[in-house]
Amino acid sequence: MALSSTHHGFFQGISRYAGEHGWHLHTFMAYSGVIPQGWRGDGIISFAGYREDLADFIRQSPFPVVEISQVRDDLDVPRVDGDNFNIGKQAAEYFLERHFKFFAWAPFAKDTPNIERLHGYQQTLAERGFEVHILPTNQLEKGHAAFMDWAASRKQLIAALKSIPRPFAVFTYNDSVGAEIVNACLDGNLLVPEQVSVLGVDNDQTVCQTVPVPLSSIRFDLDELAYAAAALLDRMMDGQSPPNILQRIQPRGVVTRKSTDIWAMNNVEVAKALSYIWSHFDDPGLSVEEVASQTSLTSRGLLKAFQAELNRSIHDEIIRIRMERAMNLLTNTSESITDIAFRTGFNSSNNFFRVFYRINKIGPRRYRNQLGPANK
């Protein structure tokens, strides 16, 4: 493993494949960062990142090499990466679903994955008539680790955040940047999520759960990415030619935490109703009358306000949030489909199957087989 970054997801995916296929895996560099000059083996899985010495080592290697990611687009080796455009698209759709009108992008570096995620985000929002504010990066310049004046960078970032009309939504390249944005907002007296909604990528528990405001994140499985890279290397070591098309790993939806647990809207009574739906969607008996009782409106008045604000009914919103949570459980857990049905507010598994198929044009079992944890 020739990794410039010992991200635990990469390590876990490669080591899982190695254990399943009887590899003798050389892991010294993952701990030391020291390139094993003169090493002899059968193949290399690399993440060169911004290290020129590691990039040179990979270029000169006589062995098959698979590079994880397109961070280094100057390496002429087979690689596996995420569907970065689709990651950006999912972020845009997530924020649009929450009725935001102002949007920002927080990059990590100036490289291909950053550019692709921004394009997916921008294009999806542009189709709805919205623009994206580009926040300054205080991380890395392409090809080298730049010196960072942390205090000056934080001041510049806070000023940029305060220049955007509120409330607004920020899509960040990864969870590290997301944590930086949350902390900058708190330093600048901007409320998260009330004024600024922040979404990261990777769903790194170590980061997302330790931010002062727990960070929502797109579940981009780095373990699966590295596992796929190991599988490709295995085929190459057996003499097979690498594919001509870049292998892309798909994101697995958004894990919602407090940093985005809000809607941007004009009608406060509709906002109250949404908050109650989100907290009680798992109650099979949840009704329009019960939701309305949490507001100052009658059931009829809330129905009209809801339709005007969101262009859908209260019932549609209840089903939408149930489906969102059910799909998340199907892809991220091994719970039985029956248990998921009852956990997400359906009064029977048959009703769950029927509604799931009507909305997704695919049954929950087949959906899990295509995207769930057993498919890693």
Across 140-149, 159-168, 179-188, 352-361, least confident range:
140-149
Write the DSSP symbol of residue 260.
Answer: G
The answer to whether domain 84-220+254-260 and domain 268-375 are alike in fold is: no
Average pLDDT value for residue range 184-207: 92
Asked if residues 79 and 67 have their Cβ atoms less than 8 Å apart, the reply is: yes
- Which structure tokens are listed for 264? 């941007």
- What class, spelled out in words, does domain 84-220+254-260 have in CATH? alpha beta
**Distances from the Cα of 30 to the Cαs of 26, 36, 57, 348, in angstroms?**
9, 11, 15, 48
- Inform me whether the pLDDT recorded for 372 exceeds 70: no
Residue 137 to residue 266: CA distance in whole angstroms: 32
Residue 22 to residue 16: CA distance in whole angstroms: 10
Average pLDDT value for residue range 326-347: 91
Q: Which pLDDT does position 373 carry in this prediction?
A: 53
pLDDT in tens, 140-178: 554 444 556 778 889 999 999 999 998 899 999 999 999
| CATH number assigned to the domain covering 268-375 | 1.10.10.60
Its sign, for the CA torsion 280, 284, 288, 289, is negative
- The structural domains of the chain, with segments of one domain joined by +, span 2-82+223-249, 84-220+254-260, 268-375
- Per-residue pLDDT band for 374 (boundaries 50, 70, 90) equals very low
Across 266-270, 282-286, 365-369, least confident range:
266-270
Is CATH 3.40.50.2300 correct for 2-82+223-249? Answer: yes
pLDDT in tens, 35-76: 888 888 899 999 988 888 999 999 999 999 999 988 888 889
> End-to-end CA distance of the chain, in Å?
20
- Inform me whether the pLDDT recorded for 183 exceeds 50: yes
Q: Which pLDDT does position 143 carry in this prediction?
A: 43
- Inform me whether the pLDDT recorded for 30 exceeds 80: no
| Residues 6+ away with beta carbon under 8 Å from 176 | 108, 139, 200, 204, 207
pLDDT in tens, 230-258: 999 999 999 999 988 889 999 988 998 98
